[in-house]
Structure 1
Amino acid sequence: MASKLLPPSAASKYPGSSSPTATSSSNRPGSLPHDLAIEARQLYQFETVLSEHEAAWRDRYSFLLSRGYKLRYRYEPGWSPSWVNIDIDPAYCDDAIDTVLPMVLDATRLSDGAIVCIKRIDPKQITDEVKIAKYLASLELSRDPKNHCVAIWDHFKDPILPKVEFIVMPPLRRYADPEFGAVGEVVDFVTQLIEGMEFMHKHLVAHGDLTTQNIMMDASPILPSGWHFVAHNCTLDGVTPISPLARIDYPVRYIIIDFDCSVRLSPGQPHLITNFGGRDGDPPEYKSRDPYDPFKIDVFTLGNVFFKDFYKIYEGLDFLAGLIDIMKAPNFRQRPDAETAMKYWLNVRSRIDVGRARWRLQKRNETLGERVVYGAVAFAREGVHRMKHMLSGEVRSDSKACTMWSN
């Protein structure tokens, strides 16, 4: 991966990017003295051979190309590492970047050059993941602004293994990368996620694993130039560090992914089942052998996200306490459904002063020195923000926050 660099004393002197077709290192960004280049090639020897799961992608390169999707050069049949015979730091070569998850890879859509995410679904047991994902992404449901489920742009069967399927989705980013910076961003996140849960439940789908790992974001508003799918701290070239905008000024949309633990009930079907759920082992009903409500599992696990990812970490989010308490009620029969949770939250949100939207999120474990530094940076950023609005003729500096609050 791109993070596996030479020692800083060497690599930091040679910024740049690479092209797989280059044959000479002269005048190329990332060029190295010959002795350092030899050292770099030794460090990257393990990257010259594809892993087993990477080989599975290579074996489908031509098939995916026929479907209109081109994988990165690394997965092209007959690939030869671009750095083996030239004096280039492999960290600056895109084909030195492998994968993060074995079942997910990026590709370029030939029709328009857009970057897409392709997921290879090889279930160890029969699930309705593809059916449910396609249902929630259907044309009729996709028109609903409350639908925060991931879009499915394409779907097809594997040409080699009949049980394997592929779905093509937009490239998304972990929802907390970069970290949240303002109170208003948390308020917007909570609103969108309860809204997305309410939408799924309205259509009788219980997610089952509504946890941190399955909440992503469309980061294009804060990273308009894009980001590398694997080297996520870099731009599309895999080398240049990203410079994200503040989401309080450029609100993002949060997306729910992965429906391998999900269940879709029929109208009128009792909301009591067993053997349902994902990563979060905290719901108390798991400790009982009695049937439980899958929709109430979602309510609990999402409440746990609010608690673990925000309330425990940041100060000044006391307005979340009551919401978390009811969403994590030990007795699922006393736990609110998604619609009731949303009504409760909207009532709480209406009482939060919009002026707090731009308040800096302060971590509970910050040292005094960190608070001084981060506070100064936030103050300077706010000053720049207000100056821009003054120069542009806008009267309200919290206009974006008002929009986030009223959605």
Structure 2
Amino acid sequence: MSSKVLPFSTPSHHSGSTQPTPSSSSNLPYLSTPSHGLALQLRQLYQYQTILSEHEAAWRDRYSFLLSKGYRLRSRYEPNWSPSWLKIDIDPAYCDDSIDTVLPMVIDATNLKGQRAVCIKRIDPKERTDEVNIANFLGSITGAMLRDGKNHCVPIFDSFRDPVLPNVEYLVMLPLRPYANPEFGAVGEVVDFVTQLIEGMEFMHKHLVAHGDLTTQNIMMDARPILPSGWHFVAHHCRPDGVTPISPLARIDYPVRYHIIDFDCSVRLSSDQLHLMRNFGGRDGDPPEYKNREPYDPFKIDVFTLGNVFYKDFFQVYEGLDFLAGLINFMKTADFRQRPDARVSMKYWLDVRGRIDVGRARWRLQKRQETIGERVLYDTVAFAREGVHRMKRMFGGAEQQQHRVYWS
């Protein structure tokens, strides 16, 4: 994404808008005289790209094809695109088409039929994979798998092949956010996260799919409960207009759903197939079995890597999560033959969860590296938020209906 500097005071736009127009001049930061020269200086300073990068050009070249499939890309990728800020003297930071893509293989789009936001992933593997088949098997909205509440695989709305390149396919998915953006704020949110992820892993393994890369990058969330006004697919800190800052709600009061994505490393085995293999796995190089030349269990790789997520992203970062220690050690058992499978991991976790004091659910998460000043500030904010929560519950507000009991 281009370097995008927001002003201290931002105008108010409708969350569904995508690009400013001259008719909204009262809300836009038109530059004073000599405006044109100053606008040019700003564009040079912030380096907003007026020419598409190579991977962006690839999406532009498929604009008409994707439109024929019912998906419209942002105006930046229209075949005859011209930067909107060149036509009027306006800071490019206020133009949606100044925002480029971050990852070459994914892009945001609008489903014309329902006018809803979607994410399109381009599948162009160097080696043949079963990613599309597995993604559709687990997550297709036309299949039966998504009816199971334990299925945390990303929903797949559509899939199709490229009209020119026979090995390239596209997956149309639910747009998601990194699961820790915004950060977790309460102990109960961590408990819910752990439950959902082990649940999702157990579901995949029950259907004989080993993910292979169950790491931080491949766990995301549907943030609509905490960001009801939506968010920009690339500029995560903004609403869909790409300008207005987001103000997320607390997920302890508005629980989110976590999803597992990216099945490029995944395998789907048959019930009569030997569940041992070599050369299986993704980003996490920590599983001890990788150091040996013997075949190993791909399902146990998932158990270890997910345990590593709990360890690195939570136990090492926050205080007060002592209840995770036993689970992490269990899931990261060095000998994969002694390591629990997903079902046993879930059984172990539910036993641990049942012994956690329910009153800890709303405790603020404290980072291990917090300074005294930060701790006082965050504690004060948390105390004030809890006071508001109690008042709303007392008077029967909507939050009372939204609150989830995380364990019992």
Structure 1 residue 46 displacement after superposition: 5.2
Give the percent of matched residue pairs that are identical in Structure 1 and Structure 2: 73
Corresponding residue for residue 4 of structure 1: 4
Q: Tell me if the contact between 2:307 and 2:328 (Cα under 8 Å) persists in the aligned partners.
A: yes
Corresponding residue for residue 382 of structure 2: 378
* Secondary structure of 1:65's aligned partner: helix
CA distance in 2, matches of 1:310, 1:13: 34
Corresponding residue for residue 106 of structure 1: 108
Corresponding residue for residue 55 of structure 2: 53
Query: Is residue 217 from structure 1 mapped to residue 221 from structure 2 by the alignment?
Result: yes
Structure 1 residue 228 displacement after superposition: 0.4
Corresponding residue for residue 210 of structure 2: 206
Structure 2: 5+ residue runs without aligned partners?
Answer: none
1:169 maps to which of 153, 170, 173: 173
Structure 1 residue 41 displacement after superposition: 2.5
1:249 maps to which of 253, 258, 276: 253
Q: Tell me if the contact between 1:311 and 1:320 (Cα under 8 Å) persists in the aligned partners.
A: yes
Query: Is residue 358 from structure 1 mapped to residue 362 from structure 2 by the alignment?
Result: yes
Q: Mean alpha-carbon deviation: is it higher for 37-46 or for 124-133?
A: 37-46
Q: Tell me if the contact between 1:272 and 1:291 (Cα under 8 Å) persists in the aligned partners.
A: yes
Corresponding residue for residue 325 of structure 1: 329
Query: Is residue 36 from structure 1 mapped to residue 38 from structure 2 by the alignment?
Result: yes
1:348 maps to which of 338, 348, 352: 352
Corresponding residue for residue 261 of structure 1: 265
* Secondary structure of 1:254's aligned partner: strand
CA distance in 1, matches of 2:106, 2:80: 21
CA distance in 1, matches of 2:112, 2:167: 26
Q: Tell me if the contact between 1:105 and 1:118 (Cα under 8 Å) persists in the aligned partners.
A: yes
Residues 388-399 of structure 1 aligned to structure 2 (within 5 Å): 388-392=392-396
Structure 1 residue 86 displacement after superposition: 2.0
Q: Tell me if the contact between 2:300 and 2:339 (Cα under 8 Å) persists in the aligned partners.
A: yes
Deviation per residue, 1:123-179 (Å, 9 max, x gap): 010100001111112421111110000111000000121100001001101000000
Structure 1 residue 13 displacement after superposition: 5.8
Corresponding residue for residue 226 of structure 1: 230
Deviation per residue, 1:297-334 (Å, 9 max, x gap): 00000000000000000000000000000100110011
* Secondary structure of 2:259's aligned partner: strand
Tell me: CA distance 1:370–1:332, structure 2 relative to 1, closer, same or farther (3 Å). same
Tell me: CA distance 1:46–1:93, structure 2 relative to 1, closer, same or farther (3 Å). closer
CA distance in 1, matches of 2:342, 2:312: 19
TM-score by length of structure 1 reads 0.94
Tell me: CA distance 1:398–1:96, structure 2 relative to 1, closer, same or farther (3 Å). closer
Q: CA RMSD in A?
A: 2.0
Letter in 2 for 1:247: R
Deviation per residue, 1:37-56 (Å, 9 max, x gap): 12112235551000000000
Q: Mean alpha-carbon deviation: is it higher for 36-45 or for 221-230?
A: 36-45
Deviation per residue, 1:26-82 (Å, 9 max, x gap): 535122221431211223555100000000000010010000000000000110000
Corresponding residue for residue 78 of structure 1: 80
1:280 maps to which of 264, 281, 284: 284
1:130 maps to which of 127, 132, 156: 132
Structure 1 residue 15 displacement after superposition: 3.9
Structure 1 residue 268 displacement after superposition: 1.8
TM-score by length of structure 2 reads 0.94
Q: Mean alpha-carbon deviation: is it higher for 344-353 or for 85-94?
A: 85-94
CA distance in 1, matches of 2:257, 2:174: 13
1:90 maps to which of 86, 89, 92: 92
Letter in 1 for 2:267: V
CA distance in 1, matches of 2:115, 2:41: 36
Letter in 1 for 2:4: K
CA distance in 1, matches of 2:342, 2:161: 35
Q: Mean alpha-carbon deviation: is it higher for 330-339 or for 44-53?
A: 44-53
CA distance in 1, matches of 2:132, 2:162: 13
Number of aligned residue pairs: 400
2:123 maps to which of 115, 121, 124: 121
1:334 maps to which of 313, 335, 338: 338
Letter in 1 for 2:28: P
Deviation per residue, 1:269-323 (Å, 9 max, x gap): 1111000000000000001110000000000000000000000000000000000
Corresponding residue for residue 317 of structure 2: 313
Corresponding residue for residue 187 of structure 1: 191
Tell me: CA distance 1:204–1:26, structure 2 relative to 1, closer, same or farther (3 Å). closer
